[in-house]
Structure 1
């Protein structure tokens, strides 16, 4: 006899929290992931990138046979859930599955995962909306940003403009501040970015946010890392346009 899978869906959010999410476009789930689980996952990812021979899917730079020491722990790990069982289970955190169903009105599916290192000195990403990069219909794209350690203004936390998810998709153009942000991304236009506020997270906190919420991150000016595991989800009846993200992952 096999071990039964836990399929009962949690309802971790209060009605007030759901209202806050829809008003502001984001919500912090305090302590959504235990410190023990965070420590185990960080160690697991470290073992993947520190191995003498890195699996092809986990290599920092495509086409490079040998990963440099810097690349090993600076270049994000893209879509590890497609290849690694631990990463897949982290995408399926019961508290995230339950919260997503509450804010989206129905069961969600995973479509993308990214493990970010953000080492000391590394730049952030300019203000943007996730929907600009990941179009889906109907738009239900939602991110769950799990803090792998304490994250504040010093080590490059996220900044958001509450309520901007109600503005719809705004134009995006070239990044303006290359001292602060990576050059390869795009930056939202037509909005007062002085309205951004920092999102300070403790280790294990989960930040849930709408794909149209304007958000950014700043350069890591500390001696600490700012590791995070970020997954994107859509409601089960939505469809992704991008070919590389069409596979829907059940959270059951």
Structure 2
């Protein structure tokens, strides 16, 4: 472009910039940007915008760190998962990389292996039936509200709660899962937990401390339970 034409365009541009009118666009620094009309400040840190959760449910999760969806998984599916767990206990199936954990105090007291001595099976992703829980559309629909559509199962686990043998070996102290998880970001991690039978305070239900998801990680150690307690 020749100099006369460039000078002319520059004069036009400077003239436009110097003109002030009611409809003129005013620039603002990005560090203090003025929000457009109708903009609402982001109030949800742990949930995603979608049509699944209500505003009340999202706010409850933001405040408390958990959300209860009743009767989400069908009784028929839960029965299938229970039957598969019993097959694992009887060693009728032994999926690769499955970790079976036993209560040593119960195992030593039984002559025949049974589900009463097995307290947990971990990493069941190779078991087709148990992993089906991680693919249930009704579960994924809610998980996506917290993680987005790119979902990955990272820690598959089935917990069994047989009666304590009197050694407090079935007691599990309060803890923060994030202390044990080596992956981040933490705001994209959510646990989908389903009870396989009716639970209450008397038979070892899941316990949470509302709001602690917003606090920092605490020191973790295993407490010195009193031996022989009820």
TM-score bucket (shorter structure): 0.5 to 0.7
**Structure 2 vs 1, CA of residues 93 and 54 (structure 1 numbering), >3 Å: closer, same or farther?**
closer
Partner residue of 1:87? Answer: 130
Q: How does 1:224-243 map to 2 (within 5 A)?
A: none
Residue aligning to 1:129: 176
Contact residue 100 and residue 107 of structure 1 kept, 8 A: no
Equivalent residue for 1:110?
Answer: 153
Residue of 148, 163, 168 corresponding to 1:120: 163
Q: TM-score, normalised by structure 1?
A: 0.58
Paired with 1:109 and 1:178, the residues of 2 have a C-alpha distance of 39
Q: Does structure 2 retain, via aligned residues, the 8 Å contact 1:11–1:98?
A: no
Q: Return closer, same or farther for 1:23/1:106 CA change in 2, 3 Å cut-off.
A: farther
Shift of the alpha carbon at 1:33?
0.3
* CA pair 99-53 structure 1, distance change in 2 beyond 3 A: closer
The structure with the largest strand share of the pair is 1
Cα distance between partner residues in 2 of 1:179 and 1:141:
36
Distance 1:28 1:179, change over 3 A: farther
Residue 23, structure 1, aligned to residue 63, structure 2: yes
| Secondary structure of residue in 2 paired with 1:134 | coil
Equivalenced residues, count:
168
In the aligned structure 2, how far is the partner of 1:146 from the partner of 1:47?
A: 20
**Counterparts in 2 of 1:24 and 1:77: CA distance versus 1, 3 Å:** same
Q: Determine which of 118, 123, 130 is the counterpart of 1:74.
A: 118
Matched, 1:172 2:220: yes
State the Cα distance separating 1:106 from its structure 2 match: 4.8
Task: Say which of 117, 139, 143 aligns to 1:96.
Answer: 139
Give structure 1 regions of 4+ aligned residues with deviation exceeding 3 angstroms. 51-62, 70-73, 104-107, 176-180
2:76 corresponds, among 36, 40, 65, to: 36
Gap runs ≥5 in structure 1:
1-9, 181-218, 222-252
The answer to which structure has the higher helix fraction is 2
Whichever of the two has the greater Rg, that structure is: 2
Query: Who is 1:160 aligned against?
Result: 208
